[in-house]
Structure 1
Amino acid sequence: MSPARSPLHDILAPQSIAIVGASADPTKRGYKAMVGLIKDGYKGAIYPINPKADMVLGVKTLPSIEALPGPVDLALICTPAASVPGLLAECGRKGVKGAVILASGFKETGPEGARLEQQVLEAARAGGVRVIGPNTSGMFNLHHKVNLLALANVKAGDIGFISQSGNMLLALVLEAEHNGHVGFSTYVGPGNQTDVGFNDYLRYLGEDDNTKVATLYVEGFRDGQRFLQVARETTAKKPVVVYKSGSTEAGRKAAASHTGALAGSYAMTVDLLRQAGVSVVQHSDEILPVAEGLGLMQSARGKRVAVISDGGGQATIASDRLAEAGLVLAELSEATRRRLGTILFPQASLVNPVDVAGSTDANPALLAECMAIVADDDNVDAVFLVGMFGGYGIRFAEDLLGGEMRGAESMIELGRRCGKPLVIYSLYEAVKPAPLRRLHEAGLPVYSSIEHAVRVLSALGERGLYLQSRERQAAVPEVVADAAMLAMFARAENEGRDLYEYEAKALLRAHGIAVADEVVVRDPSELADAAQRFGDQALAMKVVSRDILHKSDAGGVKLNLRGASALREAYEQIMDACRRYDPKADIRGVLLTPMARKGTEVIVGVVRDPIFGPVLMFGLGGIFVEVLEDVAFRAIPLSRHDAQSMVAQIRGRKILEGARGELPVDQAALVELLLRISGIVAAYPQLSELDLNPVIAYHDGYAVVDARIIINPAVL
């Protein structure tokens, strides 16, 4: 059975609208909304509500919501904040399905506003009314002629936009007007998200036939877990573009682990969005170009790009930007180079980037032939035309315009048949010559910025690879909770503490994770037996205490110990140092384990983020996590592709691959470790936070050297 359709369809594409606070004053929103509906030719019923006026813009008013002749789909409430709870109660009694609340003065203003907002929510739920806002800029649905913002010169199109900034909408509307070919389907300002949140809007845009690409400007998520779930469902059908401003502090906490300290960051949010297939843009001026490009071309097979250029300098710039974006210059086949050689001057460069070197000065249509040749190459995922196409008739001679128009038609036909994205940068785009207008009209985007064009190519490649990874995913076996481990969690909870290090390692060991041999020494009389057990191995000794989280800071760690006498001396030093550090600390002995052999330090951690739920972190250890924060995040549960992409994402991944003669680490083993940790977290909701730091990665496996697990008493 297919899931039920989102209830927002009736609200965002309403057949009837009540304007509560309709006004004859041109400065009021109740007037502007009426103007927008009437001028755009809205076909549904309009009910202006104003007890002090008989008519507004020629439409008969009603004195109250109660006077409505029957249920309506949407009420636009333009009245002050204090009136809203009562008006929503009236909406509920009349069967109004949804309300857009423009007023501010709610939780964004402080405790009193928060109480008023709670009353709004209670009134809405009691009456079955879905609420957009409050504190929203409004909404429009241009295909249904619902323009409650009364914006002029906004073209109906296929970009759905949800924005927490009204000014961001205006910026995109003006940019689209200059572009001349981009249009919008639906816009909503979510405001305070008291009821309807980003996940609800995304679900609607995913279902909306008039929307090809869902685009969001986000300052903060209310329910990140649900949003990621909806994003995964939506990105399987159509592109989703997100610009996330700032960084959230909601997930940060004074945690006892590196993972907790790094969680909640902007970088974490971006990683989790990309994990769900979302195209994240870093700069606000990329929003519309990327949305347009994805809407028109959807995806590329991969990240191999062929560049065709009529200028060496811009070919070099394009190559630099492609490399910075993680794209690669496709290696053209010998057959492709031979075909190019038959139509270009001998001085042309036939390797990628292809520089036509003047071959097209008298025949600009030749650029389309070059594009067709490289598009036929199986090594090419996308074609990037860079230079002055569209401006030959301006720069050289007017009689070249015909050749450019023929070239444009050839490019359009190529785009229809080759199945690969064709992206065009022209330095003449700003003056919009006829050949470029023709390309744009036919659905081939032309950009005035190499950087924007490259960002589009990157988004297309990322989306294509994401869709392929979805198709290839095999199920990852679930971890089943162990009864002894559950009892261990219960004991720790009863004692009001987190897991000791040896208990954390026992949990890992119980589920197949490689942990070094160790022994807990609770009394110095046990040291001789411990020394005999490990023989001549160099040992590490660490204090066991519920109260000392940072053992090294307290002097609770001694390394490279051999023999019983060295163990006794280290034991005494640790006890003395830890008692000075915290005289009240509950010390339960020491943990002895062999020193790990030399390898590459990595860190694996987990937090339960208040917005996104359980999140796993992976990165290089040591200075890389302490200073550079070279880490990757994924929401749990992980797929195998997620785990593999985490390892590949690290900026210092060349260290894992074996830098300066070192053996490469066993990346497959690290992937299995990440998957097992993901399974453990899913199986044990009692686990609140986990830090494996360091894990020593070897060419033939790994070893967990230190482990910390903080429990979540709420589920015990």
Structure 2
Amino acid sequence: MNPVAGHLATRSPLHDILAPRGIAVIGASTDPTKRGYKAMVGLIKDGFRGNIYPVNPGADMILGVRAWPSVADLPGTPELALICTPAPSVPGLIRECGRRGIQGAVILASGFAEMDAAGASLQDEMMAAARAHGVRLIGPNTSGVFNLHHRLNLLALDNVKPGDVGIVSQSGNMLLSLALEAQHNGQVGFSTYVGPGNQTDLGFNDYLRYLGEDRHTRVATLYVEGFRDGRKFLEVAREVAAMKPVVVYKSGSTAQGQRSASSHTGALAGSYAMTVDLLRQSGVSVVQHSDEILPVAEGLGLLQKADGRRVAVIADGGGQATIAADRLAEAGLSLATLSEVTRARLREALLPQASTANPVDVAGSTDAHPSLLATCMEIVAADPGVDSVFLVGMFGGYSTRFAESLLGDEMRGAEAMVDLANATHKPLVIYSLYAPIKPPALRRLHEAGLPVYASIEHAVRVLAALGERGDYLARAHGQAREAAFAPLPARAADIARARAEGRDLLEVEARQLLRDHGVAVPEERLVRDADELAEVASAFGETPLAMKVVSRDILHKSDAGGVRLDLVGEPALRAARAEILAACRDHAPGADIEGVLVTPMARKGVEVIVGVIRDPIFGPVLMFGLGGIFVEILEDVAFRAIPLSRHDARAMVDQVRARRILEGARGAPGVDQAALVELLLSVSRLVEAYPGLEALDLNPVIARDDGYSVVDARVIVERDPHHKETTA
């Protein structure tokens, strides 16, 4: 397997730190229970190629290596220090490292900001020392690091095979689980591991950048509980994913898990679903079960991508063929439609009872000739309508199940599969129920770099990840983000005035902002006095109207009795205005009421929502989904980070489960989805143009077959921290 090299915008400082020519083990110990002892064992046993400097004022030698009383006494200047001492000693040791010229430090100790206020203060002191002396920090509260190609093993893990899977994990136990799984698998090896700990200095985006540049890493794999700078991570992920696969398992998929991992809050924004959408937008392959991490990393590392999502299944059993078809459909993959030429070639190779439709069921044709499976794979791989080939069944076990004399034919089949893999760019993925016992034919496939799985579900998840990555790479080169609008002085003045007054935009201001930037907003009239109603009634004639209160102090108009619908004529408008004002003054006696907004009733259609929040981790995020009053209950929404590309906007509309309603259900006309795409792009460009907008909520937007109408618009303005709130 050839290493993958890549080049990002800037070179990571971690190359020198994680491939040091020398390392100081501060707190090196002769006590086998101490991390300072285990780190020394790992370095010595793995044959670290640089200089090892144990630092311990009470020892002359540790494990046969000369020890030094302090960092200042070291005879050389190592690039890296491993600090194994308690938390209170760390700030002083960082200062010593900085004065000695050490570039980076790995801090194992806990007892910092993850503990209490005193720990947070200690962490601040540590960071001040690091910044003052130019020392980059991994941790604190880290499980450690290794770089197996450089024989740097600070975890003293045994039997971990060097390879090309780079790992960053906030859980040391998760690393151990993956290492044991890889040991059992026998084929997967690791390049670099980092436990980010508290991410006080270096964070996930720094480690991902390093793995993207590392020539020994073919796939970057991350276990994440929480990001420190999610916006920056998404930027780096886009760069790295264009060069090599990035796999992320994000914990906290439930409300309980989010609280446990101190995730950000919000009924919809800030959710696990939002994080997954944003990661996938950036080209990340997200796995949602921990036992998928290593299979997907292995499969992507070996096969990289598929050109599409059309899969040809070849099976030697009908039941497993059906299971495979079910799982593929659930994963968003499709069964490729085989051409008549392909099916004719299959009929020539197989017995008459075989099914040549996809899934291809060999129906006993291979019982005496298992190498025929390789022939079938070659035939379907040549079909231009096939993107990936999935072999399902008992290959590798024919000589065990039927007769030992079949071993030779199975081995010939394996060699033919290896030749096919070298001749085609299409991924070949194998599921075998004999995979756990590793028979010779499957070992040969493994050795040649073909992934073999003992689970149909894992194999399908790999196929899905290959298809997703192919889609991302195909669009990454041709999908520029839409440029922001040029801000309009009048609208910028509205926002500045609202910020100075400590309020959000009034709805009439919000609607004008949208209208000026090409968003379809129905005509409206702001009525401040009852005498204006006669002119309003005359202007709209017999058109049914809606009336809503306009108040900086009343956010939920319906709850306050501030909405009346289907109004026609001046008497109805006068009565509705009086009812609204009375209800709102009863609901919020001190409310500042600007007036009422009158607008034509929107024609019927499908209610959708378009919203924007500035997430504290990921920055501005746009949401789209089924709208109305049940949006938080149904949670049928899609998220993307702003700015959007046209593909992003189209994918949001396609993603929601309600897309069949948008396409037209039970004889209803489908909505104008192209207009919705333009709306999403306009909102994205608008939010970029006006940084003072904190959030935006268009709910509902009525989508129809001839466009859409924004029925209700709320624009939240960033607050001036010096403004004193005076509203009730």
TM-score after normalising by structure 1: 0.98
In the aligned structure 2, how far is the partner of 1:295 from the partner of 1:58? Answer: 40
In the aligned structure 2, how far is the partner of 1:629 from the partner of 1:582? Answer: 30
Quote the residue 1:107 is aligned against: 113
Aligned positions of 1:604-643 closer than 5 A: 604-622=610-628, 625-643=631-649
Secondary structure (helix, strand or coil) at the match of 2:338 reads: coil
Secondary structure (helix, strand or coil) at the match of 1:472 reads: coil
Quote the residue 1:9 is aligned against: 15
Distance 1:580 1:611, change over 3 A: same
Secondary structure (helix, strand or coil) at the match of 1:659 reads: coil
Shift of 1:230: 0.4
Secondary structure (helix, strand or coil) at the match of 1:62 reads: coil
Question: Residue type of the partner of 1:263?
Answer: A
Shift of 1:68: 1.3
Q: Any idea what the Cα deviations from partners look like across 1:284-335, whole Å, max 9, x if unmatched?
A: 0000000000000000001100000000000000000000000000011111
In the aligned structure 1, how far is the partner of 2:508 from the partner of 2:650? Answer: 29
Aligned positions of 1:127-142 closer than 5 A: 127-142=133-148
Quote the residue 1:257 is aligned against: none
Q: Which runs of 5+ in 2 are unaligned?
A: 1-6, 723-728
Quote the residue 1:349 is aligned against: 355
Structure 2 contact 414–445 (Cα < 8 Å) conserved: yes
Quote the residue 2:500 is aligned against: 494
Distance 1:251 1:679, change over 3 A: farther
Quote the residue 2:3 is aligned against: none
1:375 lines up with 2:381 in the alignment? yes
* Aligned with 2:655 (options 649, 653, 660): 649
Secondary structure (helix, strand or coil) at the match of 2:293 reads: helix
Structure 2 contact 99–133 (Cα < 8 Å) conserved: yes
Secondary structure (helix, strand or coil) at the match of 2:594 reads: strand
In the aligned structure 2, how far is the partner of 1:706 from the partner of 1:278? Answer: 35
* Aligned with 2:547 (options 520, 531, 541): 541
Shift of 1:698: 1.0
In the aligned structure 2, how far is the partner of 1:64 from the partner of 1:477? Answer: 56
Aligned positions of 1:289-304 closer than 5 A: 289-304=295-310
In the aligned structure 1, how far is the partner of 2:83 from the partner of 2:632? Answer: 51
Distance 1:110 1:587, change over 3 A: same
Secondary structure (helix, strand or coil) at the match of 2:446 reads: helix
Structure 1 contact 251–609 (Cα < 8 Å) conserved: no
Secondary structure (helix, strand or coil) at the match of 1:108 reads: coil
Structure 1 contact 606–615 (Cα < 8 Å) conserved: yes
Distance 1:196 1:2, change over 3 A: closer
C-alpha RMSD of the superposition: 1.3
In the aligned structure 2, how far is the partner of 1:714 from the partner of 1:493? Answer: 6
Secondary structure (helix, strand or coil) at the match of 1:565 reads: helix
* Aligned with 2:221 (options 183, 207, 215): 215
In the aligned structure 1, how far is the partner of 2:695 from the partner of 2:422? Answer: 51
1:199 lines up with 2:205 in the alignment? yes
In the aligned structure 2, how far is the partner of 1:407 from the partner of 1:269? Answer: 43
Quote the residue 1:27 is aligned against: 33
Quote the residue 1:83 is aligned against: 89
Shift of 1:180: 0.2
In the aligned structure 2, how far is the partner of 1:694 from the partner of 1:364? Answer: 60
In the aligned structure 1, how far is the partner of 2:299 from the partner of 2:539? Answer: 65
Structure 2 contact 545–599 (Cα < 8 Å) conserved: yes
Shift of 1:70: 3.1
Structure 1 contact 607–615 (Cα < 8 Å) conserved: yes
Shift of 1:252: 5.2
Secondary structure (helix, strand or coil) at the match of 1:116 reads: helix
Secondary structure (helix, strand or coil) at the match of 1:171 reads: helix
Secondary structure (helix, strand or coil) at the match of 2:78 reads: coil
Shift of 1:715: 9.6
Structure 2 contact 252–263 (Cα < 8 Å) conserved: no
In the aligned structure 1, how far is the partner of 2:602 from the partner of 2:107? Answer: 62
In the aligned structure 1, how far is the partner of 2:115 from the partner of 2:449? Answer: 46
Structure 1 contact 685–715 (Cα < 8 Å) conserved: no
Structure 1 contact 686–715 (Cα < 8 Å) conserved: no
* Aligned with 1:160 (options 166, 179, 190): 166
Secondary structure (helix, strand or coil) at the match of 2:640 reads: strand
Question: Residue type of the partner of 2:322?
Answer: T
1:570 lines up with 2:576 in the alignment? yes
In the aligned structure 1, how far is the partner of 2:271 from the partner of 2:614? Answer: 13
Structure 1 contact 246–266 (Cα < 8 Å) conserved: yes
Quote the residue 1:664 is aligned against: 670
Report how many aligned residue pairs link the two structures: 710
Secondary structure (helix, strand or coil) at the match of 2:349 reads: coil
Quote the residue 1:361 is aligned against: 367
Question: Residue type of the partner of 1:658?
Answer: G
Q: Any idea what the Cα deviations from partners look like across 1:652-707, whole Å, max 9, x if unmatched?
A: 11011111111111111111110110000000001000000011111111111110
Distance 1:432 1:7, change over 3 A: same
In the aligned structure 2, how far is the partner of 1:628 from the partner of 1:372? Answer: 46
Aligned positions of 1:448-463 closer than 5 A: 448-463=454-469
Structure 2 contact 226–263 (Cα < 8 Å) conserved: no
Shift of 1:144: 0.2
Structure 2 contact 167–190 (Cα < 8 Å) conserved: yes
Aligned positions of 1:30-429 closer than 5 A: 30-247=36-253, 248=258, 261-429=267-435
In the aligned structure 2, how far is the partner of 1:2 from the partner of 1:373? Answer: 40
Structure 2 contact 8–209 (Cα < 8 Å) conserved: no
Structure 1 contact 70–94 (Cα < 8 Å) conserved: no
Secondary structure (helix, strand or coil) at the match of 1:559 reads: strand
Shift of 1:496: 2.1
Shift of 1:475: 5.2
1:531 lines up with 2:570 in the alignment? no
Question: Residue type of the partner of 2:449?
Answer: G
Shift of 1:225: 0.5
Q: Which runs of 5+ in 1 are unaligned?
A: 254-259
Structure 1 contact 157–182 (Cα < 8 Å) conserved: yes
Secondary structure (helix, strand or coil) at the match of 2:77 reads: coil
Shift of 1:637: 0.4
Distance 1:65 1:474, change over 3 A: closer
Secondary structure (helix, strand or coil) at the match of 1:103 reads: coil
In the aligned structure 2, how far is the partner of 1:510 from the partner of 1:398? Answer: 78
In the aligned structure 1, how far is the partner of 2:375 from the partner of 2:132? Answer: 65
Shift of 1:416: 0.9
Question: Residue type of the partner of 1:21?
Answer: G
User: Hey, which bits of structure 1, 4+ residues long, moved more than 4 A?
Assistant: 247-253
